[in-house]
Structures are given as structure tokens and as C-alpha cells.
Copies of this chain bind each other. A is one copy, B any other.
Amino acid sequence: MILSDAKIIEAIKDGRMKIEPENEIHLTPNGIDFCIGDEVAIIKRGGAYKSKRIKLADQIKVEPDTIMLAATREVMTLGNGMVGLVGIRSSYARRGFTCSPTIIDAGYSGRLTLQLRTPPYPVTISKGERVWHIVFFDSYPSSRPYNGRYQGVLNLAEG
């Protein structure tokens, strides 16, 4: 089952899910919109992997067709028995932004670092922008919930 808005609130009250800042959760009928926080990394073209980290005071201009990472504003803890699926809000897909399907494992705790590919025209990216939509699925309890390298990380974590 996919959690509804009501079930997400219930899971937060139960402590099975934790999202901060708790008073600014952007609930949708069946999920949560996640926002760009205060740091992004622009992945550079050519050469070896290299990125430009930018602290977002307000907003920045981004070149067409750029792959960037952003630390989400939200910090989350996902209890065992739930899995998140990251997608992009349809309004962003309609403007030509793309993202890849990724999973948030049961047991994960920390700030998310999410990927975004900008459209074929220059865009302005603002702190607090609601870009991604995450749905949460019931899952059978994992015998080894997430405890990997990104556990507890609170700043933008590159690959």
C-alpha cells in the first residue's frame, strides 16, 4: 500500500517516520514534496568527476541541461517497514526537468541528496523550491535496515 496524507501524519505521530522541519511538510494526496535546501552541487562537463558546490543564499542561474545534486531542506528518518520512491513533481516534468528513480531504504536517517537534470534552457533555482515528490510504500520488515555510508549525513553527500 502507498501511504496517504493521513497515514503519513499517523506514521509521524507514531514515530515510525520523522521529517523536519515538521511544521513545513508539503503533503500531497499520497506523498510529500521535497524541497531544495541550502546547498547544491553542479556536476561539471568533461574531465574527471568534478563539481561546483554552491551555498544557496537565495537563487542561482543554471546552464541548460545541467545535472545537479541538491541537499533537501528536509531531514528524514524512515522506520523499518517503509520504503520511499523519489520522483519528480509533474509540474517540473512538464517544464522539462528530469530525474532518475531512486529508493529511500527502510531505516535511512539523514538529509537526502537528490539528483535533478535541468531543461534545455537556462533556469533559476531557488532555495526552498519544491522539486521532488516522494511516495512511501509499506514494506515487509527488513532484517538489515539501512546503515550504510550516507547514514546520518546532514550535508550534501556526493557519490
> What count of chain A residues pass the 8 Å CB interface test?
70
Q: Which residues on B sit within 8 Å (CB–CB) of A143?
A: 4-6
Contact A4/B87 with A94-B158, A115-B98, A121-B49 known, Cβ cut-off 8 Å: no
Residue from B49, B67, B120 within 8 A of A43 (CB atoms): B120
Interface hub of A3, A5, A29, A46 (most chain B Cβ within 10 A): A29
Q: Give Cα distance in the complex from A99 to B103, angstroms.
A: 13
Residue from B7, B45, B88 within 8 A of A64 (CB atoms): B45
Contact residues, A67-107 vs B (CB, 8 A): 67, 69, 83, 85-103, 105-107
- Tell me whether A4 and B101 are in contact (CB under 8 A): no
Q: Give Cα distance in the complex from A138 to B3, angstroms.
A: 9
A15 within 8 A of B: no
Contact residues, A97-132 vs B (CB, 8 A): 97-103, 105-107, 113-115, 117, 119-122
A26 within 8 A of B: no
Interface hub of A83, A93, A137, A150 (most chain B Cβ within 10 A): A93
